[in-house]
Chains A and B, each alone.
Chain A
Amino acid sequence: MQEEIILSDEEIAILQEIMNISFGKSAADLADVIDTHVVLSVPFIKIMQVHDLPTYFKDHVKEYKTISIVEQKFWGRFKGDALLVFSSGAGKELIKMLQHETSPGFESDPIDILERETLMEVGNILIGACIGKLAELLKDVVTYTPPMVVVERNYSDAITENRYDPSSTAIVLKTDFCFDKGGVSGFLFLITSKDSVTWMKEALRLFIEQYE
């Protein structure tokens, strides 16, 4: 399959800058919502064929023995799939960190439900924060599907090959995050399809116009 130019170098640079700004804002607001500081790295943008995605993910998470994944689809004019990958043991750390209040009738439920739900809650907040701020800068409003979660699986069976339509091209926005409490870390991947590209090019142009 031939490589096609989807976003120019200049557009990628603008997108990178927008992500820097938006993730900076997310981190500040996240500290207020979940009461811990989240450090988000400078995001990295890569354009690739969808069938290369699983290998790309695996290369990034292979130092983790097991991983937990929270996945959420988002759609506005900016639409796609957010995958938040947590390092092993993250669920239990997050439970401690958030000091989850026990709700009535909870005693009979096993700990893994709490772990699942905690990952889901934190994942939902983190994904929403990053995408929400990004969409806001690009003057878009997005909605989300309920998060899905995979808990503590070996990384090679957690990321399956048949998740995406292999014929399409993806724009992958990747950022590393870590929480200053509890040593939880991982990656956030935003995968958007080519469908969002036309809108994105226009939004990037409008964004930069404000400063020109």
Chain B
Amino acid sequence: MIFNQIFNSINIGLIILDRDLKVQRWNRWMESHSGIAEEAIIGSSVFDAYPNLNNPKFNRSCKSVFSFGNFCFFSQKLHHYLFPFKSTSYFESFFEYMQQSCSMGPLRDEHNDIQGLFIYVQDVTEVAIYEHKLVELNLKDGLTGIFNRRYMEVKLREEFSRCKRYGGELSIIMFDIDFFKKVNDGYGHLCGDFILKSVSSRISSIIRNVDYLFRYGGEEFCCMLPETKFEGALQAAERFRNAVMDMENNYDNAIIKITISLGVAGLNEEINSAEMFIKKADDALYKAKREGRNRVMPMS
């Protein structure tokens, strides 16, 4: 009687299945999120209402509960959910379905024989959203939405050592918006931000899925091109330069034209650290600046 009240008022989903995986109990939480009343589902196989559960992992878990009395855990990270329920989060609808952390275990009779199993379902949607946001904050630049410098250092070092160890091509392009200070001084910092965002999104739209675009700092960016030869990177840089030059940046009814200068470096035997690799591209970028801007300069 008391346990029944707890069973129905607790804020997690509770299900009891018999050895044939037919539903024996379905608490109120399950009723309200699934829209299926307990009377309607009792006695039918859980797979009738949720065919998605009829997969190897779920079946394996049930078997291990019945054979060993195991407890099995279905984490949100890997499974996202067992029961496709509508998300209840107040946040923007980041996940289509409620994110769930679930667990199952044995139910024994007085002789310790396993007669069925229980499943409990916890709604962890909000935690999953926070976690996702934290990861984003850690990797991405808040203003432009492209990857940040910290991630660049990690990623470039990883890719650098991979190429050194297993061979393969790797190139980077460092680029910088010409006379960016003039944009800020002439149109204000909000306009400067607008330009940074426009350039980031324009370049993002023309790179490949495997390439990474990072904001290096201020108005300086870095694009990492895995499996790309130096010559290929020079062509890509030229495409970047043309794309930015052709942009019509409409800010407050004014069209602001901008250009970028670019330095390109390709990995070779001489380059023995990720830092040196960046410096090669950076030196080329400064050379491009010195020689009149709006141009692509290969590393020396």
Contacts and interface: CB of A to CB of B under 8 A. Distances in A.
Nearest to B59: A33
B57 A100 contact: yes
B164 to A, nearest CB: 20
Nearest to B62: A33
Contacts of B105: 143
A129 B68 contact: yes
A143 B67 contact: no
B235 to A, nearest CB: 30
Interface stretch (A37-45, A57-65, A102-110, A173-181): A102-110
B222 to A, nearest CB: 22
A128 B80 contact: no
Interface in A102-132: 103-106, 109, 113-114, 116-117, 120-121, 124-125, 128-129, 132
A101 B57 contact: yes
B78 A29 contact: no
B30 to A, nearest CB: 20
Nearest to A34: B60
A125 B62 CA distance: 11
Interface residues of A, number: 35
A117 B67 contact: no
Interface string B84-109: 00000000000110000001010010
A37 B64 CA distance: 15
B55 interface: yes
B112 interface: yes
B191 interface: no
Contacts of B73: 120, 124, 146-147
A141 B108 contact: yes
A135 B57 CA distance: 25
A129 B103 contact: no
A117 B78 contact: yes
B290 interface: no
B71 A125 contact: no
Given A99-B56, A104-B80, A132 B70 contact: yes
A33 B64 contact: yes
B68 A113 contact: no
B57 A121 contact: yes
B91 to A, nearest CB: 16
A144 B75 contact: no
B55 A109 contact: no
B79 interface: yes
A26 interface: yes
Contacts of A117: 75, 77-78
B63 interface: yes
A114 B70 contact: no
A29 to B, nearest CB: 4
Contacts of B60: 33-34, 121, 125
Contact of B69 (A33, A99, A104, A128): A128
Contacts of B112: 139, 141
Interface in B23-76: 55-57, 60-61, 63-64, 67-73, 75
Contact of A103 (B68, B70, B80): B80
3 closest A-B pairs by CB: A128-B70, A132-B68, A117-B78
20 contacts: A26-B68, A33-B63, A33-B67, A98-B56, A105-B80, A106-B78, A113-B78, A116-B77, A117-B75, A120-B73, A120-B75, A121-B61, A121-B72, A124-B64, A124-B71, A124-B73, A129-B70, A143-B71, A143-B105, A144-B71
